[in-house]
Amino acid sequence: MRIAIIGSGGHAQVCADILLSMRDAGTAVEPLGYVSRGDHGAEFLGLPVLGDEAALDGLRPDAVLVAIGDNRTRLEAAGRLAEKGWRFAAAIHPSAVIGRDVMLEPGCMVCAGAVINPGTRVGGHAILNTGCSVDHHGNIGACAHIAPGTRLAGNVTVGEGAFVGIGSSVVQGVRVGAWATVGAGAAVIEDVPDNVTVAGVPARLIG
């Protein structure tokens, strides 16, 4: 599968590294390069920046991977590309541990060392970052971001576009609302409403 990476920043380069690792491990993927308004002509991890989204018509990749770190911008880009009929690829690092009965929707990214336990659903274009863990029967919404080292207990729901910060923990059965933000190192012990920010141990509303 020939894959074009949408974006060229740090997150895009992590995605490229995952695809290259997948290829090296024997998965039939071939990253073509980055599609971005910036960095035209540059090269990262041996892959070129090919131009903006108009370049996709000439490339004709089998699939695209939206590799933009900001959740809202990633959602907008995915919607725009879906309207044009592009198919989405997922990036799953070979070192990730994926349990049985896990559903990964197109466009999601699972980084090195992540663990996803049985019965979990991961929405499209979500990011499960380096070394995070999602225990059994989790529900991760589209375009959510589970940051490095985060720990989600069983039956945790993370809404669309939510950001769960680095090193934070969410206890069993709790819901983190859509487009909410959980601060780094927070301990979430009760439901978090939509569109708010919580931080601290235990996590409290700060915005």
Instruction: List pLDDT tens digits, range 53-78.
Output: 999 999 899 999 999 999 999 999 99
Look at residue 99 in the predicted model and tell me its pLDDT.
Answer: 97
DSSP 80: H
Cβ atoms of 89 and 106 closer than 8 Å: yes
Query: Is 136 tagged catalytic?
Result: yes
Please count the other Cβ atoms lying within 10 Å of the Cβ belonging to residue 46.
9
Rounded distance, CA 207 to CA 193, Å?
11
> For the chain, how many residues are written?
207
* pLDDT tens column, 109-125: 999 999 999 999 999 99
Residue with tokens 């996803």: 116
Domains of the chain: 2-89 (3.40.50.20), 90-199 (2.160.10.10)
Residue 173 gets the label, from left (phi > 0), alpha (psi -120 to 50) or beta, of left
Residue with tokens 């991890």: 45
Check 11, 136, 137, 145 and give the catalytic one: 136
